[in-house]
């Protein structure tokens, strides 16, 4: 697959939130205002990009030669936990202002399904190193797109009269459902129309 095709697949066609339901917890939890939504999205994009590459290298460089492919789940989650911690420390040292913006979201990212999900998908789809990087970044961008749209909707919803039982999480899910309906317009045909598949 070309890089553009991978990008379109993970941002629009297989959007992790709206099509595959990965990373719903932060999507509902952190989408109350657009500032934190952007912060969460960017922090996640950064982490998915880095972990995709590192997990790919470890899988093909260490696990496959040793015949330990069945340890991928344990290995990947440890890599992710360690990397998130490392990223947090590096950002804190290099750019305190960036740390201030993204810092509180980083611990949450370890248990975000998207990070582990895209690392595993890179292996099952047998992407090469660069393709894994592109898919990791695109998955993060797809999440960012969805969470920014969602936070804008929720900011408007705060000003709208909503029935009491639907207040909060239920109406957020229903809005996400309507967004997912709109995202159904992006399907595999998009790739063949653009002569990418």
Q: Interface with another protein by CB under 8 A: which residues?
A: 18-25, 28, 70-74, 77-78, 81, 110-113, 116-117, 120-121, 124, 165-166, 168-174, 176-178, 180-181, 183-184
Measured from the CB of residue 97, what is the shortest distance to another protein in angstroms? 27
Measured from the CB of residue 81, what is the shortest distance to another protein in angstroms? 6
Q: Which residue has the tokens 């159904």?
A: 184
Q: Which residues, at least 6 apart from 193, have a Cβ–Cβ distance to it below 8 Å? A: none
CA angle at 143 for the pair 108 and 162, rounded to the nearest 5° = 90
Of 96 and 170, the one with the shorter C-beta distance to another protein is 170
Of 38 and 77, the one with the shorter C-beta distance to another protein is 77
Of 81 and 104, the one with the shorter C-beta distance to another protein is 81
Of 37 and 97, the one with the shorter C-beta distance to another protein is 37
Measured from the CB of residue 19, what is the shortest distance to another protein in angstroms? 5
Q: Which residues, at least 6 apart from 18, have a Cβ–Cβ distance to it below 8 Å? A: 146, 176, 179, 180, 183
Of 72 and 155, the one with the shorter C-beta distance to another protein is 72
- Rounded CA separation 28/143 (Å): 12
CA angle at 172 for the pair 23 and 143, rounded to the nearest 5° = 30
Measured from the CB of residue 120, what is the shortest distance to another protein in angstroms? 6
Measured from the CB of residue 31, what is the shortest distance to another protein in angstroms? 13
Q: Pick the closest to residue 45 from 127, 109, 126, 129 (CA basis).
A: 109
């Amino acid at each position: 697959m070309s890089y553009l095709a991978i990008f379109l697949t993970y941002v629009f066609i297989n959007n992790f939130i709206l099509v595959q339901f990965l990373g719903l917890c932060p999507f509902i939890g952190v989408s109350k205002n657009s500032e934190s939504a952007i912060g969460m999205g960017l922090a996640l994009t950064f982490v998915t990009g880095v972990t995709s590459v590192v997990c790919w290298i470890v899988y093909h460089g260490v696990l496959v030669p040793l015949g330990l492919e069945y340890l991928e789940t344990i290995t990947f989650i440890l890599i992710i936990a360690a990397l998130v911690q490392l990223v947090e420390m590096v950002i804190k040292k290099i750019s305190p202002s960036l740390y201030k913006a993204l810092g509180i979201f980083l611990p949450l990212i370890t248990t975000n399904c998207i990070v582990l999900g895209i690392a595993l998908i890179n292996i099952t789809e047998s992407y090469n190193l660069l393709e894994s990087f592109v898919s990791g970044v695109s998955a993060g961008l797809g999440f960012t797109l969805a969470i920014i749209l969602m936070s804008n909707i929720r900011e408007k919803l705060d000003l709208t009269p909503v029935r009491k039982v639907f207040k909060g999480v239920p109406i957020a899910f229903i809005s996400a459902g309507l967004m997912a309906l709109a995202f159904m317009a992006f399907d595999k045909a998009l790739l063949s129309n653009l002569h990418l598949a």
